[in-house]
Structure 1
Amino acid sequence: MPVHAGSIGWNVHIYDANDTMTVLEGLSSTKASPMLTSSSMVEMHFISTGTFFLRDEGDTQIKKDGHLLQPGKYYIDASGRFLRNYLLMVG
């Protein structure tokens, strides 16, 4: 699996459901990381032309309920295209 330059210390990894070998985003899940909630992380980091949701390694859809994502692998399942929001990296 390709390793992203910033991947050291990540324990939450986000993949495209159609490309499970390439990490799209990775973050460190801690109690001090409110942006890692299931509802905000994907919506802040990715822009979609259709509907999308996260699912976990067990193929369970993750509800947008504000709970912190637990360490693990998650997959973006989208009805349309989605792009990474690089504007978050500015500033």
Structure 2
Amino acid sequence: MTSQTKPGSCCTPDGSRGTAATGDVQAGTTTVYKVTGMTCGHCEGAVSAEISAISGVGSVQAVAATGLVTVTSTNPLDDEVVRAAVDEAGYELAGRI
């Protein structure tokens, strides 16, 4: 077995798979968080799914290569709620950027 991933895998080398963009937020707040421990598309998907479940979140874009997670929501989010979601996904919220 080789270490290469198959096309369409959640863990593509460019990290393009696994991010989630959900909802349709017309206007709101965009916040960028630093999350440690993400290494692949699967990680991005796990973080995105947990944050997307927070009430008021319209879209989430997680990028493992930078550790940045951009969240658009209808209102500002409580950092402790975001921290709990990131913890639930198995990663650590380092803070806002």
Same fold (TM over 0.5): no
Aligning the two structures, in what range does the TM-score lie when normalised by the shorter sequence? 0.3 to 0.5
Q: If each structure's strand is expressed as a fraction of its own residues, which one has the higher value?
A: 1
* Structure whose CA Rg is larger: 2
Q: If each structure's helix is expressed as a fraction of its own residues, which one has the higher value?
A: 2
